[in-house]
Structure 1
């Protein structure tokens, strides 16, 4: 069950059940936080609601600090963590497509499924579009393969690429998060003043 709980405490056979339970709790938290609303998610791009930005920045900062702190204490070996391989063109083009879809539909893949679970029609259409995209990509994979696998950089991180000290990267990331929170609040107040007063 991951690097913190040995398999003799929780057998490996329970991994899928625990993953399902974590997914249910995660979906409940998303819905309780209002993230199944396309208006809340689109609010980041229109400047009236930055909850999504704050939540994801906080999650990333807490995760990276926690992982490196556990590595420092000897509870975790960072070198054994999986790093997804980087295909630069696929990442850039996929990021642009997902970004446009995020703005146009007001959902990301995870929040769209949460909204489907509570019966939102716009989410059903959004997820239908995802399925059509997946189908087309799989059927036309031989055409897309050179782009998808283009500019392969291996299993790298920013720290590996530039030779940066990870602790400085974490510190700078935390500062960027704080600045982003402050700027987001300033923008939200200005947008609210212009459109709601």
Structure 2
């Protein structure tokens, strides 16, 4: 991540302080929205509550549309944005481990810290588990390195790998999101009838 505001306007130190303040507000909003509840987060996987999925999917699409418009208007050069390199095996295995941990613990790393801040014991156990996992990975890194760095794909995006126009991709992704929101409502209503 770069500075929030160019260094010639505000110093790097002040930019970091602003980032901390934004982080505090983000944590407050997570808690106020109920996202620090493991039941709400696990509800996505059990089919009775899709609020988390809808909020984060909506945020991703709005951000993507905003970036495309800013690029189109000349305020942002998307070709200069940092794209994290893709290591396919690390992404697949790491994603699977995180997904299992998400379902088992009921928290993702961000929401677990939000829940720790309000004193939830299950979140504290979850964060300790994350720390133990990070420690084991760092200590056994030479063993995991071939998997971690396996099948390097470069700094690619989904648009690059599919070879489609970014505007068409965003349009189709928005249509998929609307269909998904409708489908998740149907699933939630059906699950609600079974369990309630």
Please indicate, yes or no, whether the TM-score normalized by the shorter chain is above 0.5.
yes
Q: Indicate how the Cα distance of structure 1 residues 127 and 103 shifts in structure 2: closer, same or farther if over 3 A, else same.
A: same
- 1:130 is matched with 130
2:86 and 2:153 in contact (8 A); partners too: yes
Shift of 1:18: 1.0
CA distance in 2: counterparts of 1:2 and 1:140, whole angstroms: 31
- 1:13 is matched with 13
- 2:105 is matched with 105
TM-score by length of 2: 0.96
CA distance in 2: counterparts of 1:141 and 1:12, whole angstroms: 32
CA distance in 2: counterparts of 1:178 and 1:9, whole angstroms: 40
Shift of 1:12: 2.9
Shift of 1:4: 8.0
Unaligned runs of 5+ residues in structure 1 are none
Aligned pairs for 1:73-88 (under 5 A) are 73-88=73-88
What SS does the aligned partner of 1:153 have?
strand
Shift of 1:5: 4.3
Shift of 1:14: 1.5
CA distance in 2: counterparts of 1:146 and 1:4, whole angstroms: 35
Give the number of aligned pairs: 196
Aligned pairs for 1:1-197 (under 5 A) are 5-196=5-196
Q: Indicate how the Cα distance of structure 1 residues 138 and 75 shifts in structure 2: closer, same or farther if over 3 A, else same.
A: same
CA distance in 2: counterparts of 1:143 and 1:5, whole angstroms: 40
Shift of 1:80: 1.1
TM-score by length of 1: 0.96
Shift of 1:11: 2.9
Over the aligned positions, Cα root-mean-square deviation in angstroms equals 1.4
Shift of 1:160: 1.5
1:3 and 1:76 in contact (8 A); partners too: no
CA distance in 1: counterparts of 2:106 and 2:175, whole angstroms: 28
CA distance in 1: counterparts of 2:23 and 2:188, whole angstroms: 31
Q: Indicate how the Cα distance of structure 1 residues 168 and 126 shifts in structure 2: closer, same or farther if over 3 A, else same.
A: same
48-57 or 160-169, which deviates more? 160-169
2:39 and 2:106 in contact (8 A); partners too: yes
Shift of 1:3: 8.4
Q: Where has structure 1 moved over 2 Å in runs of 4 or more?
A: 1-13
CA distance in 1: counterparts of 2:44 and 2:7, whole angstroms: 41
Shift of 1:146: 0.2
